[in-house]
């Protein structure tokens, strides 16, 4: 039985390496490849693969956010059409052993550590094949929907465990962050940060006195290090310290911009999705 698969990873070399190993293992047809979480969601909906090799850390939506997005869409579909869309088997890929936590022991999910090992890739494929043979995946019909319930439930359990883990990490967040300014690595109090912005994959950190860059690859990764009580994702490209907002500026079509209290008095857009949160924060 051939397994249809997607490879989602923001590193082309990693995609090529995994494709080569899957070809050598055999029995897996790679029907598409993507470089970020947005492409992952689109490709999954287009191809309905049996299996997705999903990178944990990617720009935009990370691997966990991809699963959350798929689960949310499935709930909406189930509420509207009274039927559920089968989710593919998920194998996470990561270069960081810290992500191989007990949450991955949930019985419908596997993980691979980079650099990939042929034996480990083969083992992951066989685990997926065994689960599919046992009824953990199948076509979207009412008769086939019941065996999918445990798999969806296990993904829900995984997301709960991950959220609990992230909450524990936030409780132990460092008071200082490392910010690279030219050739120097500076320890900066979180309270001094006005905002962070991402541009072409580089995260810029702005304080009242200087600018630098973070080693984090995504704003999601940076947010995990920041105090969630003070830092807010006002826009997909910006995380702001609400204590450094100088002015809320009404904008066209009931939208807003934030004028920060850095030297440039930078104006930051508030996305429409975050307008409600803005009004809650400042009783607008």
| pLDDT tens readout for residues 37-95 | 889 999 999 999 999 999 887 776 778 788 888 888 878 877 777 766 778 898 988 77
Of the listed ranges 38-47, 120-129, 170-179, 256-265, the one predicted with least confidence: 170-179
DSSP element (H, E) containing 227: none
- What integer is the mean pLDDT of 239-262? 91
Report pLDDT for 173: 53
Report pLDDT for 81: 75
DSSP element (H, E) containing 110: strand 109-113
**Residue from 212, 190, 239, 237 nearest 59 by CA:** 237
Which residues are bridge partners to 235 per DSSP?
Answer: 238
Distance, in Å, from the CA atom of 57 to the CA atom of 279, rounded to the nearest integer, reads 31
10 Å CB burial of residue 277 (0-12, 13-18, 19+) is middle
pTM given for the model: 0.52
User: Which structural domains are found in the chain, ordered by start?
Assistant: 3-171 (3.40.50.2300), 176-282 (2.40.50.1020)
Residues 6-42, buried b or exposed e (16+ Cβ, 10 A)? bbbbbeeebbebbbebbeebeebebebbbbbbbbbbe
């Amino acid at each position: 039985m051939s397994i249809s698969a997607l490879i989602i990873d923001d590193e082309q070399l990693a995609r090529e390496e995994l494709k080569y190993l899957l070809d050598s293992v055999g029995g897996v047809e790679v029907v598409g490849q993507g470089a970020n979480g947005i492409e992952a969601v689109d490709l999954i909906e287009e191809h309905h693969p049996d299996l997705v090799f999903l990178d944990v850390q990617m720009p935009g939506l990370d691997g966990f956010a991809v699963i959350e997005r798929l689960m949310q869409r499935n709930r909406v579909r189930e509420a509207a059409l009274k039927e559920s869309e089968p989710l593919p088997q998920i194998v996470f890929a990561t270069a960081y052993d810290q992500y191989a936590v007990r949450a991955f022991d949930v019985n419908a999910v596997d993980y691979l550590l980079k650099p990939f090992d042929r034996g480990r890739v083969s083992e992951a494929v066989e685990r997926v094949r065994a689960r599919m043979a046992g009824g953990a995946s199948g076509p979207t019909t009412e008769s086939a929907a019941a065996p999918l319930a445990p798999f969806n439930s296990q993904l829900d359990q995984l997301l709960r465990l991950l959220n609990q883990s992230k909450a524990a990490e936030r409780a132990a967040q460092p008071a200082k962050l490392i910010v690279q300014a030219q050739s120097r690595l500076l320890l900066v109090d979180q309270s001094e940060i006005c905002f962070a912005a991402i541009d072409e994959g580089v995260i810029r950190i702005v304080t009242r006195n200087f600018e630098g860059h973070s080693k984090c690859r995504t704003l999601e990764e940076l947010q995990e290090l920041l105090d969630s009580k003070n830092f807010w994702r006002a826009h997909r490209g910006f995380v702001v310290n609400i204590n450094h907002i100088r002015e809320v500026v009404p904008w066209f079509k009931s939208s807003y911009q934030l004028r920060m209290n850095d030297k440039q008095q930078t104006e930051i857009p508030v996305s429409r999705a975050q307008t409600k949160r803005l009004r809650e924060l400042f009783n607008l």
